[in-house]
Amino acid sequence: MDLLTNVLPTFARFLNATIMIKGLFNILLFYFLGEVCSLFINGFIPGSVIGMILLFLSLYFKLVKPEYVRDAATVITKNMAVFFIPPAVGLMAYAEYISQSIWTISLAIIVSTVFTLVVVAVVQDSFEKRRAKK
Amino acid sequence: MNEQLIEQLKQLLSGEVFLLCLVFGTFLFGVYLYKRLRFSLLQPLLISVVIIIPFLKITGIEYTTFYEQTKVLNFMLGPSVVALGYVLYEQIEYIKGNVLSMLTAVFAGSIVGIASVVLIAKAFGADKALVASLAPKSVTTPIAISIAENTGGIPELAVAFVVICGLFGGLIGPILLRAIGIKSKIAKGLAIGSASHALGTTRAMEMGALEGAISGLAIGIMGIMTALIIPFVDKFFL
């Protein structure tokens, strides 16, 4: 049973060696389309975000098969933290500038992050509670 | 001959292959430590950065060199935002019926977040470049860079604040939300993703698949809301 439901489909996916290429192709294609759209609105919304919305809509309206994107998208999104390493190391280049106004920066970031967390969670939570009551 | 060899070795040390090895290797070490010690302050990203910065200082490799050679990782930030479109699609069952509440919640959160960071920074006499670099701190880097550029901020600085904010939000988010008694998984994921983008999302994914996916969705909504709000804030308040 387990062999049929789990092992075999996984094995079949490995046989489909181009699945990663298909995934990357689709993701990059939507990224490109997003960048093109972004150009028309003067970069008001970044291309990657427009690409995300376009990819979602295409999946929703069945223009793109989910299997084509699944593997590549899962690998990329589960490992997003790695992509932040180069910019995070960039902190070192601005260490002096940041240390000059370290208190302002820390206070602003801490207060604002706490506010954002609380406001978003409380608003969403109260919507859900109100619906549950109905 | 010998000197030439040393010179070539040095060049390899500041080259693409070795620096990418360094990034992945330190990150893996970070994951290992994080799993062994289960201490949320020891985020793999943080461990990796804490090793890499001294390494670059000691070997005298400039940050610009490091950045140039690891550009491929930076490039991947864009596709990773696009790929969130798929994560979103996977969780569509949970999104249905929650669209209005999620949009309202993130909209309120982005207004409060931007207003508080701008007001505090201004109250403490931060200059315009600093305020404009701080304002998009809750969104993912590609979005933060373009917002900061459009409003007179310093892109590199904006990225630095995004990373700090992501680490901080991911760290305190789960604790804070538990403390104020939030039980809804959607509310938790949405709050963490709105406050601290993809770095928070990695933490939300540890909490559960639904929290992770909603957090991923929140990155997108927050990104769009922030991109729409900041131009107005910039016009009237900066």
Residue-wise pLDDT for B121-156, tens only, equals 999 988 888 999 999 988 888 778 878 877 888 888
Same domain, A10 and A69: yes
Same domain, A43 and A2: yes
Same domain, A26 and A43: yes
Which 3-state string (H, E, C) describes chain A? CHHHHHHHHHHHHHHCCCHHHHHHHHHHHHHHHHHHHHHHCCCCCCHHHHHHHHHHHHHHCCCCCHHHHHHHHHHHHHCHHHHCHHHHHHHHHHHHHHHHCHHHHHHHHHHHHHHHHHHHHHHHHHHHHHHHHC
The reported pLDDT for the residue numbered A4 is 59
Same domain, B63 and B128: no
Same domain, A61 and A96: no
Q: What is the pTM of this model?
A: 0.80
The reported pLDDT for the residue numbered A5 is 61
* Cα B62-B68-B74 angle, rounded to 5 deg: 120
**Domains: count for chain B:** 2
Same domain, B70 and B90: no
B 102-131 residues with CB < 8 A to A: 102, 104-106, 108-110, 112-114, 116-117, 120-121, 124-126, 130
Per residue in B191-238, pLDDT (tens digit) is: 999 999 888 888 888 888 888 888 888 888 888 888 888 888 887 766
- Asked which of B27, B47, B75 is the last residue of a domain, the reply is B75
Q: What domain range includes position B41?
A: 2-75
Is the pLDDT score of A112 beyond 60? yes
Same domain, B69 and B103: no
Same domain, B89 and B42: no
Same domain, B201 and B106: yes
What is the percent of chain A with per-residue pLDDT over 70, rounded to a whole number?
A: 87
Same domain, A17 and A60: yes
Same domain, A102 and A36: no
* B101 contact residues in A (CB cutoff 8 A): 123-124, 127-128
Same domain, B130 and B195: yes
Is the pLDDT score of A11 beyond 80? no
Q: What domain range includes position A62?
A: 1-83
Same domain, A67 and A95: no
Same domain, A7 and A61: yes
Give the closest-approach CA distance of A33 to chain B in angstroms. Answer: 11
Alpha-carbon distance of A29 to A22, in angstroms, equals 10
Is the pLDDT score of A10 beyond 70? no
